[in-house]
Amino acid sequence: MKKIIAITLIILLIDQISKIYIKTNFQVNDFVSIMPGFKLTFVENPGMAYGFHFGGIIGKYFLVIVRIFLIGGMVYLFKNWLQRGESNYLIIPMSMIFAGAIGNLIDGMFYGLIFDSGTVYDESIDQWIGYGGISKLVPFGQGYSSFMRGCVVDMLHFPLVDFTLPDSWPVIGGKHIEFFKYIFNVADSAITVGAAFLLIFRKKAFPNGLEF
């Protein structure tokens, strides 16, 4: 149990510090080039990992509820796995996924309550509306929105390929080519890396098959 708690707290600490720093020092769509192929680019995401979202505010509520049930289910699984003495090949990756899920849940549930500005949902046009300026932390409950209406802060951007084709080229001239264009955060990274470890070491993680 100590291992699960330690991994979760370390990931959550890094995740939340990085998000709060970006939100209180960058305007939306601001970026800083750290090195070739790596930028810090601030975007706000009302939905899932890597910028995917659906269903407006109802979709957002649905995602928050799903994350709560997922986290609750994982607590139950951890209890069973620890009692059975499951290996670190299972416990460590699942702890990373667990921490990532909590990290993004915190944003969605509470960021609208603790920051003075952020992306909000306009029901009259069925769209999420951005904002200008740099956000500031405010006393709990005095933020720009209400419970469960906050947006996830993303900033990790790895445009390994990033160029514009010459205008003189026929048909495709002037087209911008970028890979990898998705912007994500530490919590998303923890979930992705944890899932990758489970896939790579699946025979050691699940020597007797998938058991709950």
CB-based contact 23:115 (threshold 8 Å): yes
Q: Is 29 within the bounds of a domain?
A: yes
Per the annotation, the verdict on 15 as an active-site residue is no
CB-based contacts of 194, cutoff 8 Å, min separation 6: 92, 93, 94, 95, 96, 97, 100
- Structural domain total, the chain: 1
- Give the pLDDT confidence score for residue 128 in this predicted structure: 84
Q: Is 27 within the bounds of a domain?
A: yes
- Give the pLDDT confidence score for residue 187 in this predicted structure: 95
Q: pLDDT > 70: what percent of the chain?
A: 85
Q: Can you read off the two tokens belonging to residue 53?
A: 């979202």
Q: Is 20 within the bounds of a domain?
A: yes
pTM score, two decimals? 0.85
Q: Is 36 within the bounds of a domain?
A: yes
Is the pLDDT score of 7 beyond 90? Answer: yes
Q: Which of 30, 154, 162, 167 is catalytic?
A: 154
Q: Which domain holds residue 192?
A: 2-205
User: Residue 153 is inside which H or E element, if any?
Assistant: strand 152-157
Of the pLDDT bands very low, low, confident and very high (cuts 50, 70, 90), residue 66 is: confident
pLDDT tens per residue across span 14-35: 999 999 999 999 999 999 999 8
In 3-state terms, what secondary structure has residue 188?
helix
In 3-state terms, what secondary structure has residue 97?
helix
Of the candidates 53, 56, 25, which has an alpha carbon nearest to the alpha carbon of residue 41? 25
Q: Is 60 within the bounds of a domain?
A: yes
- Give the pLDDT confidence score for residue 19 in this predicted structure: 98
Q: Is 212 within the bounds of a domain?
A: no
The Cα–Cα gap between 157 and 41 comes to 6
Q: Is 91 exposed, middle or buried (0-12, 13-18, 19+ CB in 10 A)?
A: buried
Q: pLDDT > 90: what percent of the chain?
A: 57
Q: Which of 15, 116, 126, 188 is catalytic?
A: 188
Per the annotation, the verdict on 167 as an active-site residue is no
Q: Is 83 within the bounds of a domain?
A: yes
pLDDT tens per residue across span 93-145: 999 999 999 999 999 999 999 999 999 988 888 788 889 999 999 999 999 99
Is the pLDDT score of 153 beyond 90? Answer: yes
Q: Is 211 within the bounds of a domain?
A: no
CB-based contact 78:94 (threshold 8 Å): yes
CB-based contact 48:66 (threshold 8 Å): no
The Cα–Cα gap between 38 and 102 comes to 25
Starting at the edge strand found earlier in the chain, the sheet holding 38-45 runs 31-35, 38-45, 152-157, 183-184
> Looking at residues 163-190, what average pLDDT do you find?
76
- Give the pLDDT confidence score for residue 62 in this predicted structure: 83
Average pLDDT over the chain, rounded to whole? 87
> Looking at residues 48-60, what average pLDDT do you find?
61
